[in-house]
């Protein structure tokens, strides 16, 4: 049996902050995993060296490269057709990076690469909240805002492999915040973890009311601080989530007008805020939807552990690599 000869696939999830990688068996269990800090490596070759060193030691644990069918990688701005990362605003390496090729050369195993959010969507469709769905949108709320779009049961890659950059639809046409992509007003500049921290700094500067967040130096505030203050009952922190959710909900209404998905699934750090972010999203989306969709579109949290979803999804691509 083929699966006996090569019983494992590798999944790698490259995020703006961390890179998580793991060995996955045919049943979707992560049998070994590790991570490195993406941001630490300004030179992509040093990054590849470190990543492949960590990966090789996991591979050795399960019996060597002969046991691995393939490697799947999810990465921001990852292109399924070319295997390149191209112009990723949240990664340290600029321009076009032939990542699949670099990893194949080091490890000697075929590599498939895609958008990190696409990888998460595959994971969610196979193991999570989107099981049985043919039309859904995965929104990843992390360092940036990403998306994986599934239509008719297929991931949407577009004619060039770059489809699904919903973090970069423009939600503020006038006086929009600058975004890592070089433009202004992108969804990502508001609804990412860093966007939430920016909202906190803006609210604290403009407003005069008391807030637990005033105990933290403004440029050290993180989305986690905002979450903790909101849970502790801080009014200003709660309003930050309402503002963020309201922008997301308006954007979701436009996404629904495009592909009429059964559900929009939230994934990534910010989704840990639970009802604090879910309630304003749903209220705002319902206010903004066309009549035909009111009350009919589910907004759900991912059912997978955050690291697992992307690694599992990426590993699903690994099984098909050749």
292 binds a copy of itself (CB under 8 A): yes
Nearest distance from C-beta of residue 135 to a copy of itself, angstroms: 4
Among residues 49 and 262, whose Cβ is nearest to a copy of itself? Answer: 262
| Window contacting a copy of itself (CB under 8 A); options: 15-23, 116-124, 203-211, 284-292 | 284-292
Of these, 154, 209, 235, 275, which contacts a copy of itself (CB under 8 A)?
154
**Choices 47-55, 101-109, 178-186, 224-232 (CB under 8 A): range interacting with a copy of itself:** 178-186
Tokens of 260: 């009429």
Does position 274 interact with a copy of itself (CB under 8 A)? The reply is: no
Per-residue x/- mask for a copy of itself, residues 15 to 54, rule CB under 8 A?
Answer: ----------------------------------------
Which of 20, 109, 163, 317 touches a copy of itself by CB under 8 A? 163
Total interface residues for a copy of itself by CB under 8 A: 46
* Residue 249 φ then ψ, to 5°: -60, -40
291 binds a copy of itself (CB under 8 A): yes
149 sits near a copy of itself (criterion: CB under 8 A): yes
Q: Which positions from 220 through 259 interact with a copy of itself, judged by CB under 8 A?
A: 250, 253-255, 257-259
CA–CA gap between residue 266 and residue 299 (Å, rounded): 7
Residue 182 is a binding residue for a copy of itself (CB under 8 A): yes
- The stretches of 232-305 forming alpha helices (DSSP H) are 235-259, 275-288
Binder of a copy of itself out of 73, 111, 166, 226 (CB under 8 A): 166
Q: Of the candidates 33, 192, 288, 302, which one interacts with a copy of itself according to CB under 8 A?
A: 288
DSSP 219: G
**Choice from 5, 152, 215, 219 touching a copy of itself (CB under 8 A):** 152
The answer to whether 181 and 169 have CB atoms below 8 angstroms apart is no
Helix, strand, coil in percent for the chain, rounding step 5: 45, 20, 35
Question: Virtual CA dihedral for 258, 122, 296, 267, nearest 10 degrees?
Answer: -100
The residue among 202 and 262 lying less far from a copy of itself, judged by its C-beta, is: 262
Which residues lie closer than 8 Å to 145 by C-beta, 6 or more apart? 139, 166, 167, 187, 188, 191, 192, 195
**140 close to 117: Cβ distance less than 8 angstroms:** yes
Tell whether residue 157 is a contact of a copy of itself (CB under 8 A). yes
Does position 178 bind a copy of itself by CB under 8 A? no
Nearer to a copy of itself, 246 or 315 (CB): 246
What is the smallest separation between the CB atom of 272 and a copy of itself, expressed in angstroms? 26
Task: Extract the runs of DSSP E, i.e. beta strands, from the chain.
Answer: 8-14, 18-25, 30-37, 68-75, 85-86, 96-97, 111-115, 136-141, 145-151, 154-155, 263-267, 298-301
Tokens of 57: 């030691």
With a CB cutoff of 8 Å and minimum separation 6, the contacts of 86 are 77, 79, 95, 96, 97, 162
Report whether 70 contacts 9 (CB < 8 A).
yes
Q: Is 292 helix (H, G, I), strand (E, B) or coil?
A: helix
The residues of the shown chain that bind a copy of itself, judged by CB under 8 A, are: 77, 86-87, 133-135, 149, 151-152, 154, 156-166, 168-173, 181-183, 250, 253-255, 257-262, 288, 290-293, 296
């Amino acid at each position: 049996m083929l699966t006996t000869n090569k019983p494992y696939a590798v999944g790698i999830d490259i995020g703006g902050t961390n890179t998580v990688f793991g060995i996955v068996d045919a049943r979707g269990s992560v049998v070994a995993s590790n991570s490195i800090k993406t941001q630490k490596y300004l030179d992509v070759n040093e990054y590849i060296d470190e990543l492949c060193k960590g990966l090789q030691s996991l591979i050795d644990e399960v019996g060597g490269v002969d046991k691995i069918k393939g490697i799947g990688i999810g990465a921001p701005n990852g292109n399924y057709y070319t295997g390149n990362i191209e112009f990723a605003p949240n990664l340290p390496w600029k321009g076009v990076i032939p990542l699949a090729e670099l990893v194949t050369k080091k490890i000697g195993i075929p590599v498939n690469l895609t958008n990190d959010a696409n990888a998460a969507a595959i994971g969610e469709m196979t193991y999570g909240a989107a099981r049985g769905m043919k039309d859904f949108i995965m929104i990843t709320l992390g360092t940036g805002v990403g998306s994986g779009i599934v239509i008719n049961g297929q991931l949407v890659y577009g004619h060039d492999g770059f489809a699904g950059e919903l973090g970069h639809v423009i939600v503020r046409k006038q006086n929009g915040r600058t975004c890592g992509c070089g433009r202004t007003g992108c969804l990502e500049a508001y609804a990412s973890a860093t966007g939430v921290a920016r909202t906190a700094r803006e609210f604290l500067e403009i407003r005069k009311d008391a807030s637990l967040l005033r105990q933290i130096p403004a440029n050290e505030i993180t989305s986690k601080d905002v979450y903790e203050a909101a849970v502790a009952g801080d009014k200003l922190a709660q309003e930050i989530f309402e503002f963020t959710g309201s922008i997301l909900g308006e954007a979701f209404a436009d996404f629904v007008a495009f592909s009429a998905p059964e559900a929009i699934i939230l994934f990534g750090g910010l989704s840990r805020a639970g009802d604090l972010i879910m309630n304003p999203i749903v209220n705002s989306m319902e206010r903004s939807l066309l009549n035909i969709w009111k009350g009919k579109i589910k907004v759900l949290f991912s059912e997978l552990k955050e690291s697992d979803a992307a690694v599992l999804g990426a590993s699903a691509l690994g099984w098909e690599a050749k």
